[in-house]
Amino acid sequence: MSVTLTELVVRFGGELVGDGTRVIVQVAPLERATIEEIGFVSQSKYLAQLASTGAGAVILPEEARDATDLPRILTPNPYLYFARVSALLNQPPRPPVGIHPAATVAADAQIGADACIAAGVVIGSGAVIGARSVISANSVVGDQAQVGADCLLHANVTVYHRCEVGDRAILHSGCVIGSDGFGFAPDAGRWEKIPQIGRVLVGNDVEIGACTTIDRGALEDTVIEEGVKLDNLIHVAHNVVIGAHTVIAACTGIAGSAKIGRHCTIGGAAMIFGHIEIADGTRISTNTLITKSLPKAGTYTSALPFSEHEVWQKNAVHMRNLDKLVKRIKQLETRLTELECQSERKS
């Protein structure tokens, strides 16, 4: 696909400075861009790269209007603009419309207009696939499950029975929606399985990474609200609610019945205890353990930065003795107060 700078501005807005007929076929970093590619600068410290770039055009912040003579698009958010141009020029390949002969589709399943059902796909009884959605090879959509319009399910995705996925969702390979929550009742030294009868409800414009698993609710539903972005290898336990437009990085674990607010950002490998609530707009750093509710938005961090092993060993010893040290400090404070009182009396 190719597009002129003028066409980009018509589509995405911004101010064009220079030759609007310049044709762009791809996006690229400034240091290796060619005459048919467009780069971007979002921070002033990178403006110096404009002097040596081979790019045919650039996307710049408005205040950098005079930083180069190259054709340029000025916008308040160059990074976002670049993302939109990249999405336009790099649209995912789309398989042929229709149901592949090697797919298995229940007779009462509803397949929307212009949907693509690839080889090896299984669509269960009563399932609904929305218009223009792509269900890639070997994916499974269970009985009475629903997938909205304009969705993309990559190969080997599983959507269990009765679960629902909204419009324009992207589910990457190995993603599992609606597996059983981890629920077992103790019985004389054994464990008896508790049926998980809720669903998973995924909102519109959600993206879920490869091999991420979202458990169905035990009684009520697990809910992923609109615009949520989940990275690879995340586990979301039963009855969790993740608020709209929250983003969560890889390897995070969220225990059952946790409620995460809207517009939160959670770093990789964070661990969230169950039955707690996290306020809207909260930021949680990577490797952070959250053990109780966070009713006030802010940035929370618990992971210690790395150090040389010998230094870490010494610090670990001190950590083990913190309780003793606190008691000794309190004793010293008490003794110091007594001495100050004695000194005041003598004076």
**CB distance 167 to 205 below 8 Å:** yes
The verdict on 63 and 189 lying in the same domain is no
The verdict on 57 and 146 lying in the same domain is no
* Element counts in the chain: helices (H) and strands (E): 4, 39
Binning pLDDT at 50, 70 and 90, where does residue 94 land? confident
- Which range (12-26, 135-149, 224-238, 325-339) has the least confidence? 325-339
At which of 89, 120, 135 does a domain end? Answer: 89
The verdict on 14 and 147 lying in the same domain is no
Position 53 scores a pLDDT of: 97
Dihedral angle computed from the Cα positions of residues 12, 151, 134 and 180, in that order, rounded to the nearest 10 degrees: 150
The verdict on 341 and 239 lying in the same domain is no
From 154, 172, 238, 245, the catalytic residue: 238
Position 18 scores a pLDDT of: 97
- Which range (194-198, 271-275, 316-320) has the least confidence? 316-320
The verdict on 11 and 77 lying in the same domain is yes
pTM score of the predicted model:
0.89
Residue ranges making up the domain that contains 33: 3-89
Position 125 scores a pLDDT of: 98
The verdict on 54 and 85 lying in the same domain is yes
The verdict on 293 and 319 lying in the same domain is no
pLDDT in tens, 265-281: 999 999 999 999 999 99
The verdict on 159 and 295 lying in the same domain is yes
Binning pLDDT at 50, 70 and 90, where does residue 92 land? confident
**CB distance 233 to 251 below 8 Å:** yes
What does residue 93 show for φ and ψ, rounded to 5 degrees? -60, 145
Give the Cα separation of 240 and 64 in Å (integer). 45
Position 1 scores a pLDDT of: 85
The residue count of the chain comes to: 347
The verdict on 69 and 116 lying in the same domain is no
Model confidence at 347: pLDDT above 80: no
Is residue 238 part of the annotated active site? The answer reads yes
> Residue 264 is part of a domain; what is its CATH number?
2.160.10.10
At which of 68, 89, 110 does a domain end? Answer: 89
Give the Cα separation of 341 and 344 in Å (integer). 5
The verdict on 158 and 259 lying in the same domain is yes
Position 316 scores a pLDDT of: 86
Question: How many domains, the chain?
Answer: 3
Binning pLDDT at 50, 70 and 90, where does residue 162 land? very high
The verdict on 291 and 315 lying in the same domain is no
The verdict on 33 and 179 lying in the same domain is no
Residue 110 CA to chain centroid, in angstroms?
30
Give the Cα separation of 248 and 215 in Å (integer). 16
Sequence-separated (6 or more) residues with CB below 8 Å from residue 123: 103, 104, 105, 106, 109, 111, 117, 129, 135, 141
> Residue 36 is part of a domain; what is its CATH number?
3.40.1390.10
Position 152 scores a pLDDT of: 97
